[in-house]
Amino acid sequence: MEKSNEEIIEEMQLVVNQMVVDDLEENPDLAQEYFDCGCCGKSKSLAGSIQYGNYRLCNDCVLLAETGFALGKFTDIQDLIDAMEDKRLEELCKFIKDEEARKKQLEN
Protein backbone atom coordinates (compact mmCIF):
# COMPACT_ATOMS: atom_id res chain seq x y z
CA MET A 1 0.00 0.00 0.00
CA GLU A 2 1.19 3.51 -0.83
CA LYS A 3 2.06 5.70 2.08
CA SER A 4 0.37 9.07 2.30
CA ASN A 5 2.46 12.23 2.39
CA GLU A 6 1.43 12.68 6.01
CA GLU A 7 2.75 9.22 6.91
CA ILE A 8 6.02 9.87 5.08
CA ILE A 9 6.46 13.19 6.90
CA GLU A 10 5.70 11.65 10.28
CA GLU A 11 8.19 8.86 9.62
CA MET A 12 10.86 11.36 8.56
CA GLN A 13 10.29 13.47 11.67
CA LEU A 14 10.90 10.41 13.85
CA VAL A 15 14.02 9.41 11.91
CA VAL A 16 15.47 12.94 11.91
CA ASN A 17 14.69 13.51 15.60
CA GLN A 18 16.41 10.23 16.36
CA MET A 19 19.58 11.52 14.65
CA VAL A 20 19.84 14.25 17.30
CA VAL A 21 19.32 11.74 20.10
CA ASP A 22 21.92 9.37 18.64
CA ASP A 23 24.47 12.13 18.07
CA LEU A 24 24.10 13.43 21.63
CA GLU A 25 24.35 9.92 23.04
CA GLU A 26 27.58 9.39 21.15
CA ASN A 27 29.01 12.84 21.91
CA PRO A 28 27.14 15.02 24.44
CA ASP A 29 29.53 17.92 23.70
CA LEU A 30 27.84 18.35 20.32
CA ALA A 31 25.02 20.19 22.06
CA GLN A 32 27.43 23.08 22.66
CA GLU A 33 28.96 23.06 19.20
CA TYR A 34 27.51 25.25 16.49
CA PHE A 35 28.05 25.71 12.78
CA ASP A 36 26.51 27.81 10.02
CA CYS A 37 24.00 25.65 8.17
CA GLY A 38 24.76 25.43 4.46
CA CYS A 39 21.08 25.55 3.66
CA CYS A 40 19.22 27.98 5.96
CA GLY A 41 22.39 29.88 6.91
CA LYS A 42 21.50 29.94 10.60
CA SER A 43 23.91 29.07 13.38
CA LYS A 44 22.77 25.63 14.50
CA SER A 45 23.79 22.79 16.78
CA LEU A 46 26.01 20.13 15.23
CA ALA A 47 23.84 17.47 16.84
CA GLY A 48 21.66 15.88 14.19
CA SER A 49 23.37 17.70 11.34
CA ILE A 50 24.39 15.83 8.20
CA GLN A 51 27.00 16.47 5.53
CA TYR A 52 25.52 16.29 2.03
CA GLY A 53 28.24 16.71 -0.57
CA ASN A 54 29.65 20.22 -0.08
CA TYR A 55 27.01 21.27 2.42
CA ARG A 56 26.46 20.54 6.09
CA LEU A 57 22.80 20.88 6.96
CA CYS A 58 21.27 21.54 10.37
CA ASN A 59 18.73 19.12 11.75
CA ASP A 60 15.80 21.30 10.62
CA CYS A 61 17.11 21.36 7.07
CA VAL A 62 17.90 17.64 7.19
CA LEU A 63 14.20 17.14 7.83
CA LEU A 64 13.36 19.28 4.80
CA ALA A 65 15.93 17.45 2.69
CA GLU A 66 14.93 13.94 3.69
CA THR A 67 11.22 14.70 3.41
CA GLY A 68 11.76 16.30 0.01
CA PHE A 69 13.69 13.25 -1.17
CA ALA A 70 11.06 10.89 0.22
CA LEU A 71 8.22 12.82 -1.43
CA GLY A 72 10.14 13.06 -4.70
CA LYS A 73 10.16 16.88 -4.58
CA PHE A 74 13.81 16.89 -5.58
CA THR A 75 16.63 14.38 -6.05
CA ASP A 76 19.74 16.44 -5.44
CA ILE A 77 20.70 18.41 -2.34
CA GLN A 78 21.66 21.27 -4.63
CA ASP A 79 17.98 21.57 -5.55
CA LEU A 80 17.10 22.18 -1.91
CA ILE A 81 19.89 24.72 -1.50
CA ASP A 82 18.71 26.56 -4.63
CA ALA A 83 15.10 26.32 -3.55
CA MET A 84 15.87 27.72 -0.12
CA GLU A 85 17.36 30.71 -1.86
CA ASP A 86 14.38 31.55 -4.01
CA LYS A 87 11.79 30.04 -1.70
CA ARG A 88 10.39 27.69 -4.27
CA LEU A 89 9.94 25.15 -1.56
CA GLU A 90 7.97 27.44 0.68
CA GLU A 91 4.94 25.33 0.05
CA LEU A 92 6.63 22.14 1.16
CA CYS A 93 8.03 23.87 4.24
CA LYS A 94 4.59 25.17 5.09
CA PHE A 95 3.14 21.71 4.63
CA ILE A 96 5.60 20.28 7.14
CA LYS A 97 4.98 23.10 9.60
CA ASP A 98 1.24 22.63 9.32
CA GLU A 99 1.76 18.97 9.99
CA GLU A 100 3.85 19.75 13.07
CA ALA A 101 1.21 22.18 14.32
CA ARG A 102 -1.47 19.55 13.80
CA LYS A 103 0.53 17.00 15.77
CA LYS A 104 1.08 19.43 18.65
CA GLN A 105 -2.64 20.06 18.80
CA LEU A 106 -3.25 16.34 19.06
CA GLU A 107 -0.74 16.06 21.88
CA ASN A 108 -2.41 18.78 23.93
Please identify, using beta-carbon distances, which residue of 9 and 38 lies nearer to Zn ion. 38
Q: How far is the CB of 106 from Zn ion (least distance, A)?
A: 26
Please identify, using beta-carbon distances, which residue of 8 and 93 lies nearer to Zn ion. 93
- Torsion over CA of 97, 65, 59 and 55, rounded to 10 degrees? -140
Q: How far is the CB of 59 from Zn ion (least distance, A)?
A: 8
The residues of the shown chain that bind Zn ion, judged by CB under 5 A, are: 37, 39-40, 58, 61
Nearest-angstrom CA–CA distance, 15 and 34: 21
